[in-house]
Amino acid sequence: MRLGTALFTISLVISGCEGKAPVAPPGLLLSRQAQQAGAAIFAANCTICHGENGDGRGQRREGMVPPPANLKQPPWSDPGSAGRAFLAIRNGVRGTAMPAWRTFSDQEIWNVVAYIVGLKG
């Protein structure tokens, strides 16, 4: 198992996200419109930690333990993990600096997930 996959799985278990993950609305993950909307949300809220490219190299990453995830790598960029990514955004990830983004609507979170899926490195 790759280190990133292992850390992702552990973080989800710790955060309580191991329950049933939601399923992305049909076609949304490949929707250019959803990806563009997600890119705008990501730029405004996520790049500070995850970096402009989603590679985990944002301005605030220094001193973060564990460091921000590289979202260009599986499992984050894997469409099969989209529901888990949704839960990580909605609920945050305990034991990390990843906050819960409860101010985002479900649609906004799915748009961010669509953007992340499109980042495949």
**pLDDT at residue 108, rounded to an integer:** 98
Q: What percent of the chain has pLDDT over 90?
A: 80
Return the CATH architecture of domain 3-19+29-117: Orthogonal Bundle (1.10)
Mean confidence (pLDDT) of the chain: 87
Higher-confidence residue of 6 and 40: namely 40
Q: Where are the domains of the chain?
A: 3-19+29-117
**pLDDT at residue 120, rounded to an integer:** 81
pTM: 0.84
Contacts 24+ apart (CB under 8 A), 52-56: 53/119, 54/116, 54/119, 55/121
- 106 touches 28 (CB < 8 A): no
**pLDDT at residue 19, rounded to an integer:** 60
Question: How far from the centroid of its chain's Cα atoms is residue 51's Cα?
Answer: 12
